Amino acid sequence: MLATAWLVARLAPARGIDPLRAAAFVALNPLVLVHVIGGPHNDAFAVLLTTLGIAALLSARETEAGAALVAAAAVKSSAAVALPFALLGARNRGPTGRNVKASLTFRPVGGVVMGGLAMLVAIGVAAYAGFGWGWVHAFALAGQNQGHTSHLSLPTTTARILGVGKDPARAAFLVLYALLVAWLLVWTYRGADWLRATAWATTGLLLATSWLLPWYLLWPLPTAALSRDRPLKLLLLALTAYQLGARIPL
């Protein structure tokens, strides 16, 4: 978490953001202090790798960015949300203009893809060496988690308030999330800030999942801290306050 906060502070000035406030927004979140720093969760490693990927892409090191983002998704599948937005961010930063060949525009994208593929192969080889084909079952486990519900997730809370079944509420939230991601991808494709879109997509995942644990709040904090989006930050603070009673004896 110290490394992530330091990276966010280093990236903040170029984004027009106070570095101390950006680092504090990430590292001093109450749920981070209690559940991530005080708990054995791999979310901290996934978010650190994601932040390294963001730093690499912002400094035009696309190959390293792709490798870091894929490694983050290997640690925690939720980190994969950043990948399509990073690809669009690399595309939008590529050369443009009538006299520039179209292939040049996609060179940054190719760097992200090649770095990601190289890391994917390396992880696959290491996983096979350590576990044979048993590691493939991890994908099924990630899917099974969505069959669970936590008491303070938004779909479960909505179902409880409205007196409807959990499955219809969960399905409705997932449909809304799919629409949000589709809109954010189009928005980013048209030139919007890919970091801001990533922050909203990750926050939307927290709102849509029926299996919401308090330490998951860490996921969008670095991108939100760098997003220059006040409503998003206020939403995350409200979600933090809502989750304070989850697994913390108050």
Would you kindly state where each structural domain of the chain is located, as residue ranges? Answer: 2-243
How far lies 249's CA from each of 15, 215, 241, 245, in Å?
Answer: 38, 15, 14, 7
Asked whether the predicted pLDDT for residue 80 surpasses 70, the reply is: yes
Q: Please determine, for residue 24, whether its predicted confidence score (pLDDT) is greater than 80.
A: yes
152 Cβ neighbours under 8 A, 6+ residues apart: 212, 242, 243, 245, 246
Crossing angle for the helix pair 82-93 and 62-75, to the nearest 10 degrees:
170
Whether 38 shows a pLDDT value over 90: the answer reads no
Query: Which amino acid type is present at position 179?
Result: L
Cα distances from 186 to residues 79, 88, 112, 141, 190, in angstroms, run 20, 10, 19, 31, 6
DSSP run (H or E) holding 181: helix 166-189
Cα atoms found within 13 Å of the Cα of residue 55, Cβ hemisphere only: 19
Count the Cβ atoms, other than its own, within 10 Å of residue 36: 24
Q: Which two tokens stand for residue 236?
A: 């995350």
How high is the pLDDT of residue 132?
86
SS3 content of the chain, % helix, strand, coil (to 5): 75, 0, 25
CA distance 101 to 34: 52
pTM value? 0.89
Amino acid letter for position 199: A
* Average pLDDT of span 142-154: 74
Closest residue by Cα to residue 53 from 64, 42, 41:
64
Min mean pLDDT across 39-43, 130-134, 152-156, 245-249 is at: 245-249
**Cβ of 206: how many Cβ atoms within 10 Å?**
21
Mean pLDDT of 180-208: 96
Rounded CA-CA distance 75/218 in Å is 14
